[in-house]
Amino acid sequence: MPLKVTVTQKEPDVYIVALSGSLDSQTYPDLENALRPILKPSTKAVVFDMEHLVYISSLGLSVIFRTKEALEEKGGTLAITNIQPKIKEVFDAVKAIPSQIFASMQEADEYLDAFLDDIEEEEKKE
């Protein structure tokens, strides 16, 4: 099954990456290519919307975790929303569940609002 990746800029330096289909050994480069232009030093947050993701392999997981590391190195964050039970089982199996998993986009928005407020406060102190 192919992977469809849709990147939407929610606000400056905050992106929603909607995944649909299978994220596996054949399709993970599609996700990497879609992420490349948005993973810049100024990026504050990336939210993976997994509502329509039906399968994820270890290579797909590695793209997600490399994205998380790249964001955190620059003070950003990664969140996951609408994760399907089968996909969550894969995260559980490798004992690598990101702490920012939300049941809905509304919950993710609340987290992002607080995160971005904290960044603004830090920038004002500098």
Angle at 97 (CA atoms; ends 68, 91), nearest 5 degrees: 110
**Domain total of the chain:** 1
State pLDDT tens for residues 67-123: 999 999 999 999 999 998 898 888 777 766 566 787 888 888 888 888 887 777 777
pLDDT band at residue 7 under the 50/70/90 scheme? very high
The residue range of the domain holding 35 is 3-125
**In 1-126, where does DSSP find H-type helix?**
28-35, 58-73, 85-93, 105-125
Q: In what order do the strands lie in the sheet with 3-11?
A: 3-11, 14-23, 45-56, 77-81, 101-102
Domain containing residue 117: CATH number: 3.30.750.24
State pLDDT tens for residues 17-67: 999 999 999 999 999 999 999 999 999 999 999 999 999 998 999 999 999
User: For helices 58-73 and 28-35, what crossing angle results, to 10°?
Assistant: 20
Return the pLDDT at 97.
59
Q: Please tell me the pTM assigned to this model.
A: 0.85
CA distance 66 to 10: 21
Residue pointed to by tokens 């992002």: 112
Return the pLDDT at 70.
93
